[in-house]
Structure 1
């Protein structure tokens, strides 16, 4: 009787915020913005991405190549391959956009690890660069590619956001990937640089779509989300291939945002392969050494005793 009274007293003494956080289910979003330079993002009017920055940890120079292996081309295939698996291209073996002999069976999309640890988890992928769906995504309960004819990345991004808003409400995914492609398309057409109006306009349009997704997430009051925002590469001129010695291409960015995230700029060098281990760690998925992940969890608050 005394012990029960003590426990009840302790619970009533805890802040209400602590109690509510403990009751909320955990969810993660890997938000990919292809070909987005951080210096252009900070110049653009992006209130929604700015909010994610303010509510988390970030790096303006998350490297797209690791120390151990740097032979792959600086294009989307190896970039997204490394992001979704948490390993570098010598392991997943996507060296360019050819996908000749990918090893995603050995180094799978992070959904695989989520489902292995949490079989009841719902996983959702919404993309519009088709190789992600065709080669990389596995263990997805719902996998959507919004590409269609005629070609229009802006239209495809609009559709991706609409699917996201609808399915977050209906499916309540535990782990989700959402990809936007129009920023990269604008860079190839007009130039990857903060001074290019069309490039800035594409970033601002994507930000408006991010706002719709965040508004939907905010309505899920019984859920607590961790959001990792990342790009696969930067750009220089109208391209980004062969960028091994070009900081404008090598430097991507990483934002880790949510109630469980530390606030401010990362003190350490971070890499695009750090996004997946961060999301898995937040969900409580125990990282197995056998997975050979090259990234590690970053930006998360230390758990209280």
Structure 2
């Protein structure tokens, strides 16, 4: 009798576990670290980003330009335009940082597609490079720019605090974009290279901030999060402009992490425009060919 009772209890526990897993709501975080080289990231002491990478699949050679179009400058405007929309600069038309005649009405921020599919889903953008908020972000229920009269390090601290505040609310985001800018600032001031102490220190500081965000996410035990981490460009010397033929600038990285992600290292070429379709597909948003996305969903189970 005891044996059969134990088997019944075990079966009930297994069924309860499956049902519990099925009841978890899906959420996504697009985490951007401006101007971060992957070789410097791997040299720095980054336990939190290492944890994200180990919990998913990654590419250390994610290209910031596509095969079809390579004429835009290799700087933040085109980079974040492509990352947040899933299309290259010949479509969103941000060729540099002036944002002259952008086409974000036709090729919008990925929040637009989230809200179109799930109107009640909360979308949150937290950045500290103001052009992202001014030109790129759309369909955000909450849009926060933490860059005031402060340093990028202080702005990153404020961005982390704002993200944690959003994540601990009852109606926390279904989709969040979080941007850290101090690594790029350190590169411009001191050099984009793993041998530059200030550049490494900035990466390590951002990693600590990422740890605070991860801690808040991990407390949401009723939710399943997919985290995609990337950067808009690398760097060479103290810059990254006109880097169309420089692999130190052209190569970014992409991490896709969480229970819904594959594990290991990508064997195929990955691009920064792959971030958006990956996030949308994970959320169950059906991608319409009419959107003309250049990227593809990658790294999902």
After TM superposition, the score normalised by the length of structure 1 is 0.94
Decide whether aligned partners of structure 1 residues 203 and 15 sit closer, same or farther in structure 2, where only a CA change above 3 A counts. farther
Query: 2:189 maps to which residue?
Result: 189
Q: Distance in 2 between matches of 1:38 and 1:15?
A: 42
Measure, in 2, the Cα distance between the counterparts of 1:196 and 1:254.
Answer: 23
Secondary structure at the counterpart of residue 184 of structure 1: helix
Which residue of structure 1 aligns with residue 201 of structure 2?
Answer: 201
Counterparts in 2 of 1:274-285, with a 5 A limit?
274-285=274-285
Hey, what's the Cα distance between the residues in 2 that align with 1:208 and 1:53?
A: 15
Q: Deviations over 1:139-184 (max 9, x none)?
A: 00000000111x4000000000000001111131000000000000
Shift of 1:257: 0.2
Q: Hey, what's the Cα distance between the residues in 1 that align with 2:248 and 2:17? A: 42
Distance 2:115 2:123 in 1: 8
Shift of 1:283: 0.2
Q: Which runs of 5+ in 2 are unaligned?
A: 1-7
Q: Secondary structure at the match of 1:214?
A: helix
2:119 is matched with which residue?
119
Q: Per-residue deviation at 1:13?
A: 8.2
Match of 1:299 in 2: 299
Partner of 1:152: 151
Q: Paired residue for 2:211?
A: 211
Partner of 1:5: none
The superposition leaves residues 42-76 of structure 1 with CA deviations (integer Å, 9 ceiling, x where unpaired) of: 00000000000000000000000000000000000
The Cα of 1:21 is off from its aligned counterpart by 2.0
Partners of 2:216 and 2:167 lie apart in 1 by 7
Q: Which residue of 1 is the match for residue 163 of structure 2?
A: 164
* 1:246 alignment counterpart: 246
1:14 deviates by: 4.9
> Matched residue of 2:168: which SS?
helix
State the shift of 1:201 in Å.
0.1
Q: Give the number of aligned pairs.
A: 292
Two-structure CA RMSD over aligned residues (Å)? 1.4
| Residue matched to 1:258 | 258
Aligned-partner SS, 1:205: helix
Deviation at 1:17, TM superposition (A): 4.7
Listed as ranges, the matches of 1:92-107 within 5 Å are 92-107=92-107
* Distance in 1 (alpha carbons) for counterparts of 2:231 and 2:190: 19
Structure 1 pair 13/154, CA: closer, same or farther in 2 (3 Å)?
Answer: closer
1:49 match: secondary structure = helix
Distance 1:15 1:182 in 2: 47
Structure 1 231/17 Cα, relative in aligned 2: closer, same or farther at 3 Å? Answer: farther
| CA shift digits 1:170-222 (9 cap, x unpaired) | 13100000000000000000000000000000000000000000000000111
Match of 1:3 in 2: none
Write out per-residue CA displacement over residues 79-116 of structure 1, whole angstroms, 9 at most, x where no aligned residue.
00000000000000000001010000000000000000
In the TM superposition, structure 1's runs of 4+ consecutive aligned residues that sit over 6 Å from their partners are none
